[in-house]
Every structure is written in structure tokens, then in C-alpha cells.
Amino acid sequence: MADKNHEMWNALGMDLETHDQLCAVLPTAFGDVFLTQDNIPAGMDYFYTVAGDIHGLRPAELIEAQKAGKKVFGTFCVFVPDEIVIAADGIVTGLCGGSQFWVPEGETVLPINTCPLIKASLGARIGKTCPFFRIADIYVGETTCDGKKKAYEILGEDVPMHIMQLPHSKRPKDMENWKDEIEEFAARVEEVTGKKITIEKLNEAIKVINGKRKALSRLYDCRKEKCVPISGRDVLLIMQIAFFDDPQRLSQVVNELCDELEERIRNNVSVVNEDAPRIMLTGTPLAVPNWKLHNIIESSGAIVVCEENCTGTRYFTHSVREDNKTLDEAYAALTDRYMTNINCACFTPNPGRVEDIIRLAKEYHVDGVIDLNLKFCSLYDTEGYFVERELKKAGIPVLGLETDYTDNDAEQLRTRIGAFLEMIREK
């Protein structure tokens, strides 16, 4: 398998020597975070297999699909509607970088004070050390934060890019603009794939992605129970895989896992003691393989039961209206779902996010919230003012943390999180 992977990576024009260094450290990092857990659900086997050959299994499938004439669209944000791509027989793969390994290469073209997610994403492309970045036929960017907008200009010199202009408010005229952007994206997708998007195909694609949302929603519902049948680390891994896996297969394996988890709940089989503090994370996304915070929190005796971020609830909540009569109606349904219901900090004002956080904290019976910010993300950092103020008003303990992808601050984070958990336990 290793040789087959090397052949594939070589054909993709990757820097094999540097990439081998990543391959050498990932299994240990994965083992330390995941395989040290007790009582792992059997349904995690699929996800551990995918993660264990993360640069082999799915990339090989994507290349096979390309040989059969399909086009691969690489995306960086939950605002890009997968349904449009799938309706034109295309494939979507998430491209966000979550490893420090890629950051130095990103820093060769970006200011140091750019968030690590953007630096890692550019570094993975420029350094030729991620197969997904080599495979994608076109990248789809969005004007969410300033760092991303400018980074896409640099990426655009190297790969074909389509940029979706995201309005930063949710007034009726912004909704109209976003619908125009979705229609323009559909036209670009038709041009790239050579396939016409029909209402039948779009309705079908909406059902596929809604199916994935329902499966992930069911998974999250299991975490609302007093008996917690799965760790936060395992759910985070599933969410990260959801961004690049085949959506129908993913729905199926998540639903099978949920059958097992619901059985565990009926039999009171929990992965932690009943008195373990229940933690919710809010803030910036956790791209694969960023497992740092979950690992520290859970190895400190607490359990993460919810993530209010784009690798969490923002990815799957709210479905798109199905069975639309016309393409115009379907585009309006996509506009509603993607614009009204995603409360990214790039919006101003953005009261919906604070409302979501308070509601989720209650639904998941959390004992405390960690408001996480990736270093140099001024959007989420600044919005933390409202998040932390409103949580305090609601009587929910909150800890604001800022970190990057390095391990330099791991001990400091462990101390701060330990003190926060102690405070919760004494409440």
C-alpha cells in the first residue's frame, strides 16, 4: 500500500521527501490522541481506517473518479453549497489545513500574523505536501475574512479559483446578492464539469446533503444524554472526515455508529464518569489534524459534548428545503439555508451566534464553555467579547483561550484548563 501511495503522490507532483516527514509523525500523533482511549465504539473502525491512510484512501478514489470524467472542487468554508457541485456530478473535498507542519511554508508568502489555518492551507499547496491540494481541479474561495480573501489571490496564481462574494450582513438585499452568487457559482460549476444542472439533479443533491446533515445531527443528539457514549475526540475526527468523504457513504457509517451509540445509551454505557465536567467549545474551526484542545480537555478528566464551530454544529444544522419546483426556488432554498442559518463571526451584527451558543449550552447540559480562538483571527477574537459577556450573564462558566497549531503552549493550556475544570467541579 505504501508503495502504491508513493506512486500516486509522485504522479501528483508532490514533494515526496518532505511529505515522508509528515507521514512519519502522523501515526504517532494519531495513536497518542485516539488509541489511548478506553471503550472506543466499534463503529469508529471505519473512521480510524480512513484517518490511518488519510493521504491514500480517499485521494485514490478521487483520482479514479477523475479518470471517469468527474471534476473535484476544493473548498475552504461551510458557505460553499456542496449541492450545486453534486448536482453537476462533481465531487467536493474540504481543503483547510490543520497542521503546524504546513505553517512555515505558508509563512514564506503570507504575513506571520495570519491565522494558522490560512497559513497551513497555503503551505500545503505551495509545499506540495498534501494530495488533496494537488488533486482538486478548481478551488472555491469565499470572501469571509480578510486573511482568506488575500490568500486566495495568491493561490489564484497557481490554481484555477472561483470566489464567492459573501455579504457581511443578512438584510434582504444581502440575501438577494447571495442568491446571485449561488447562481453564478452554478454557472461556473456547469462550465467546469460540462454538465447541466437540472431541477431533478439539484433536488436529488439536496436530499444527499440533507441526509448527511441528519446523520451528523443524530450523532450530536447522542451527546446530549447524561450517559455520553462517545468521546469528543472521536466526534471531531468524524466531522473532519465528513469534509472530504463520499457523502452517502459517510451518512451510512455515521447512522450505523449511531445505532451502536443509542444502544449504549439504553444500556448506560458511557465513555466517562458521570461527574466528568461537560464542556462545549465555541469559536474557530478545527481542521484535520488539529486535535490539540480536545485531547487536552479530555485527558484532563472532562468530556467535550458539543462544538459550536464550523467543524461542529455550524456544518450540519438546518436542512435545505426539498422537492423544489424550479431551479429558482431551489437556489432560494439554498440561499436561506446557507445565509440565514450560518452564524460565522464575519457577519455584522451577528446576534444569532450568541443565541446559538446559549441555546446549545442548555441543550447539551454543559458545565462550562471554552471560547477558542486561533491566533491572529481578529473576527472570533473580537466577537469573544459578546460571547463571554452573555455566557457570564446566563451563569455559564466560560474560559477564553487563544492558541495556534504548535505544541509550545500545551502545558500552559493544560494548566489553565485544569484550573477551569477545578472551578467547575467546586461550583
| Binding stretches for ligand SF4 (CB under 6 A) | 77-79, 115, 117-118, 144-145, 147-148, 284-285, 310, 342, 344, 346, 374, 377, 379-380
- Residue 233 grid coordinates: 475526540
Q: Of the candidates 223, 243, 277, 312, which has an alpha carbon nearest to the alpha carbon of residue 73?
A: 243
- Cβ distance to ligand SF4 smaller for residue 272 or 286: 286
- Cβ distance to ligand SF4 smaller for residue 5 or 75: 75
CB of 284 to ligand SF4, least distance (A): 4
Measured between alpha carbons, how far is 28 from 70 in angstroms, rounded to an integer?
35
CB of 91 to ligand SF4, least distance (A): 19
How many residues belong to the chain? 427
> What is the C-alpha radius of gyration for the chain, rounded to an integer number of angstroms?
21
- Cβ distance to ligand SF4 smaller for residue 41 or 97: 97
Q: Which residues of 247-282 are buried (b: 16+ CB within 10 A; e: fewer)?
A: beebbebbbebbebbeebbeeeebbbeeebbbbbbb
Count other C-beta atoms under 10 Å from residue 427's C-beta. 9
CB of 295 to ligand SF4, least distance (A): 20
- Cβ distance to ligand SF4 smaller for residue 146 or 184: 146
CB of 311 to ligand SF4, least distance (A): 8
Instruction: Indicate the burial class of 54 (C-beta count within 10 angstroms; 0-12, 13-18, 19 or more).
Output: buried
CB of 275 to ligand SF4, least distance (A): 33
Measured between alpha carbons, how far is 261 from 277 in angstroms, rounded to an integer?
20
CB of 378 to ligand SF4, least distance (A): 7
Q: What separation in angstroms does the CA of 240 have from each of 234, 304, 358?
A: 10, 16, 24
- Cβ distance to ligand SF4 smaller for residue 253 or 344: 344
- Cβ distance to ligand SF4 smaller for residue 43 or 116: 116
Q: Of the candidates 367, 426, 416, 371, which has an alpha carbon nearest to the alpha carbon of residue 394?
A: 367
